Structure 1
């Protein structure tokens, strides 16, 4: 899309310095789990997957950044298998996702498919050393992401295009943002106290930080999604609501996302009051702030990456 659809982000983005190390390890991982026929394919390289991980998690150590890069690659390549005819056959999509969900609960991959072995490896590395409460939350969020794909496939063949509320329910699943935000804790090796993690201010901040990339992505991916029949895109919904052109709908969605960015900024300034009102100890405040900073760092890093990546180019 043109530059006039870009968001103005008041939060700075930073780049992890371990990108070259993670690039080597990520290519090795793709060789062991061949989600791609050719891990060095120029098209995949043009997506700059390691760059996304480096911008999203700038403080991660070398091996942690490699884990983040592997996760980013998995999200993209797993999702992309449903862009073709398979993505219009929900009864076939569901068993694929169920086998991965079973991995979350202790099952071993039984088909040897690259998706299963890759996901089993990612899950084992992610939960290693993390507390049980974090593991339970992470498993739920992964199940939500995986189980959303059959519904997305059904939507492509349904004669009932989604309304705004239905869009949000499904998009919040397929976007996988909760799993991405769980990794803020995992890569930082901390766990946010429950009282502040579920406080309304931080929950709103997290939800906005999760939704903004979806709206921005809908604008950038619209030229790719519309021709193949994808319907869970807010640009299409706004077009129907307003009976307007695609260009006008993109501008409306971008304006909505910009208001959400401003709301994020306002909520962020409230966090010190939240910590004080909850009576958090100093170490708890530090952890909570690291998490909040991590959410907005991811948001800023993602939007910077999205504006340059070749993944959403139509050519």
Structure 2
């Protein structure tokens, strides 16, 4: 074990988790399915990308446990849907680590861009279009997933999912350029860019698929829905930054919210982590404030019928499940810094839980207690 692993760079803060995590009963089936699928795609097993790099061993794959992530973040998904969602997350994390191994470590900006330029070809809006022959596991798995996902969704959703997937891929170039230039963003730029190219908008699209409830097209760009998506994205990204700080520091990564605050305010790492956690808490609370004050107006202003209202509510509940489930997985996965996490559990006043009730819960943190 490395010296960095013996002592964490900061103690994890007391997290505000307003919704209880629930576990999908189809977890074990998803674990078995996604491992077999990963071998089929070439994500696991002998390298099939023209290199000799083994990005993930089976042992590492088991420890990261992406089936557990998806079983927590999508607790009500039927078995086949959980299998599909789990495969998507295996793909996206594998893409991230594969890009790190092949392009980030070597600072190969030109090669990385050429690699990324091919991937949209495997996401045709019109499935009658045939992509080129895949040359690596990322391309092969993306084409497989795309064919299994988009046929049941509207063209409006397909366009949104295509754009958010492309933005997620493009984030890798933003990160590699920051590394090449030894550049750390300022906090405002960082939040803005993460909203645009981070993984959370992509995840929120998959929530619609998982709960079988598309957001009505005429309200997708409304202010309340944009606030829901932005606060969801900010909270997901900031939580990940807190748990992944140590790993990303070891990888030379500069796109991390804790590091951004630490450098911008010239403060110690613990103080930066606590400030990021405060911001994370505020985003969760704004989500619920928007639900309480703006959702009725959204329904009335856009004349949403009962079915459409139910679709929006199912989607928002799915975002809440993602927040609580994602937190639970971060506390357990070997991908992240989570030593001693059980010693400082998330705290809140014990009051009713459910959609729209977290405004009743006041987070208990050392700072809040004085």
TM-score, structure 1 normalization: 0.93
CA distance in 1, matches of 2:131, 2:60: 32
* TM-fit CA distance, 1:79: 0.3
2:300 to 276, 287, 305: 276
**Does 2:27 match 1:19?**
yes
Paired with 1:118 and 1:180, the residues of 2 have a C-alpha distance of 17
Write the distance in 1 (CA, Å) between the matches of 2:100 and 2:57. 21
User: Aligned to 2:152, what secondary structure does the other structure show?
Assistant: coil
Structure 2 matches for 1:46-57, cutoff 5 A?
Answer: 46-57=63-74
1:5-16 aligned at under 5 Å gives the runs 5-16=13-24
2:95 maps to: 78
Structure 2 counterpart of 1:154: 177
The SS at the match of 2:336 is coil
Cα separation, 1, equivalents of 2:338 and 2:297: 46
Shift of 1:144: 1.2
Deviation at 1:173, TM superposition (A): 4.6
TM-score (norm 2): 0.80
Q: Structure 1 pair 42/304, CA: closer, same or farther in 2 (3 Å)?
A: same
SS in 2 for 1:110: coil
Per the alignment, residue 63 of structure 1 pairs with 80
Change (3 A) 1:273 1:183: same
After superposing the two structures, state which structure 1 stretch, 253-262 or 267-276, moved more. Answer: 267-276
Q: Counterpart of 2:312? A: 288
Given candidates 62, 87, 92, the residue that maps to 2:111 is 92
The answer for the alignment partner of 1:304 in structure 2 is 328
Which runs of no fewer than 5 residues in structure 1 stay unpaired?
Answer: none
Q: Name the SS for the 1:230 alignment partner.
A: coil
| CA distance in structure 2 between the partners assigned to 1:50 and 1:294 by the alignment | 17
Within 5 Å, give how 1:212-231 maps onto structure 2.
212-231=235-254
- 2:61 aligned to which of 17, 34, 44: 44
Q: 1:119 to 1:85 in 2, by over 3 A?
A: closer
Spell out structure 1 runs of 4+ moving beyond 6 A: none
Q: SS state of the match for residue 81, structure 1?
A: helix
Alignment of 1:117-196 (within 5 A): 117-196=140-219
CA shift, 1:139, in A, is: 0.9
| Larger Cα-atom Rg | 2
Task: Report whether the alignment pairs 1:265 with 2:260.
Answer: no
Structure 2 contact 41–137 (Cα < 8 Å) conserved? yes
The alignment covers a number of residue pairs equal to 315
Distance 2:99 2:110 in 1: 12
Which one has a larger percent helix, Structure 1 or Structure 2? 1
Cα gap change, 1:310/1:160 in structure 2, threshold over 3 Å: closer, same or farther?
closer
Query: 1:113-160: per-residue Cα shift (whole Å, max 9, x none)?
Result: 111100111111110221111111111111111122122111111143
Residues 16, 55 of structure 1: 8 Å contact kept: yes
The RMSD of aligned alpha carbons is: 2.1
